[in-house]
Structure 1
């Protein structure tokens, strides 16, 4: 499997690559990816969980026990639970969001897909998501999975990130550009 140098160059990327290799070797890529998706959602929803991952006050043992309890309550697979334990024992739980992102990119690449991070002002319908995937596939020449985020601050339009490429068609950016142009 080929991974980009960018993923392997970061600390989170090295951990994600190790997890991916273990998941691939044990045919558990889908299970791990599902567990990491559950964990990502839990991190987005729970300030306490985010605090747990970043707290320097907890010992390695305490954070390991806490993250194991969280993994059990979320129903995460065994490999992901062990992986979180390794992050806790190495005091790297603060990197968990970055490792999730890197793992998802590795898994998508393994499936021959490209991942796009899409931000919209309002939730997109299933038909809009399908049309967006078709447009992005035509642009990049590969199947595209989308990670959707809603941010009302962009006012309208979309911001799409595919790797290092960003397509910003948000109304906020257009208004800022117009204001800048009017200043001369």
Structure 2
């Protein structure tokens, strides 16, 4: 049955790309996230839009009625389209809307600044994830159920430098509405969507000391050369790391014990 939701999710993403991506904005993204959050918190509505015993037209009618005048027409149309599809589990619909919300943020960035802007959004997400994963106290603060969403959002702005409006929107979503995930993990999931759009891969890199932008760029180029494909860096600092660096790309892990490859990376990071 999982294949049913996969097919519906792909159909929703395709509908977005073909009909709505060209005009997408951060508001489009925010409203799609808001609908996903609404479904998470409203079991009756969630069941009404995913119940396979209801006719597709009836499910679409419920979505259209609930969202009338509350969201962009394009968002209403996307959710209505999704409600008419089949879903293996109730949560799958909200997950698919979350996915399209990330696509909308990427489309907004591309409209604003082309492929470079999308890359900058990706870097924002990975920077946030790296900073949070390296600081246990920060992780605890962002998952503290006693703290308000606004307080968590404010804390994020104080400790992580986010350079793009779309990056801030996606990180704020991960912090304020993590949907049962850890904020850093959700940001990484969003990053994976952007990586797939750009047909890139992610290198999870742990280093013993922070890297400035120049050394980070050299490392990215060196790893891309080693693996023969364009890589985005998910960078974490751990002073205890053996050999000063650890890299994971897919199932491949290299660390300080693999001296030949590490030597290549070291030279790339320190070369003038």
What SS does structure 2 have at the residue aligned with 1:153? coil
Q: Deviations over 1:8-38 (max 9, x none)?
A: xxxxx87973542231243364564454356
**1:156 aligned residue (243, 249, 252):** 243
Q: Distance in 1 between matches of 2:119 and 2:140?
A: 28
Contact 1:119–1:151 (CA<8 Å) still a contact in 2?
A: yes
Q: Distance in 1 between matches of 2:161 and 2:235?
A: 23
Contact 2:202–2:232 (CA<8 Å) still a contact in 1?
A: yes
Q: Distance in 1 between matches of 2:154 and 2:256?
A: 42
Q: Distance in 2 between matches of 1:35 and 1:103?
A: 11
1:133 and 1:25, CA in 2 relative to 1: closer, same or farther beyond 3 A?
closer
Q: CA RMSD in A?
A: 4.1
1:116, distance to aligned residue in structure 2 (A): 0.8
What SS does structure 2 have at the residue aligned with 1:159? strand
Q: Distance in 2 between matches of 1:123 and 1:71?
A: 19
**2:102 aligned residue (20, 23, 27):** 20
More strand by share: 1
1:53, distance to aligned residue in structure 2 (A): 1.9
Report what 1:115 is aligned to.
202
1:15 and 1:31, CA in 2 relative to 1: closer, same or farther beyond 3 A?
farther
Contact 1:116–1:147 (CA<8 Å) still a contact in 2?
A: yes
What SS does structure 2 have at the residue aligned with 1:161? strand
* Structure 1: segments with no counterpart, 5+ residues: 3-12, 172-184
TM-score, length of structure 1 as denominator length: 0.55
**1:83 aligned residue (160, 163, 173):** 173
Larger Rg: 2
TM-score, length of structure 2 as denominator length: 0.41
Q: Deviations over 1:106-135 (max 9, x none)?
A: 22332232221223445678569636733x
**1:67 aligned residue (125, 142, 152):** 152
Report what 1:36 is aligned to.
125
1:139, distance to aligned residue in structure 2 (A): 4.6
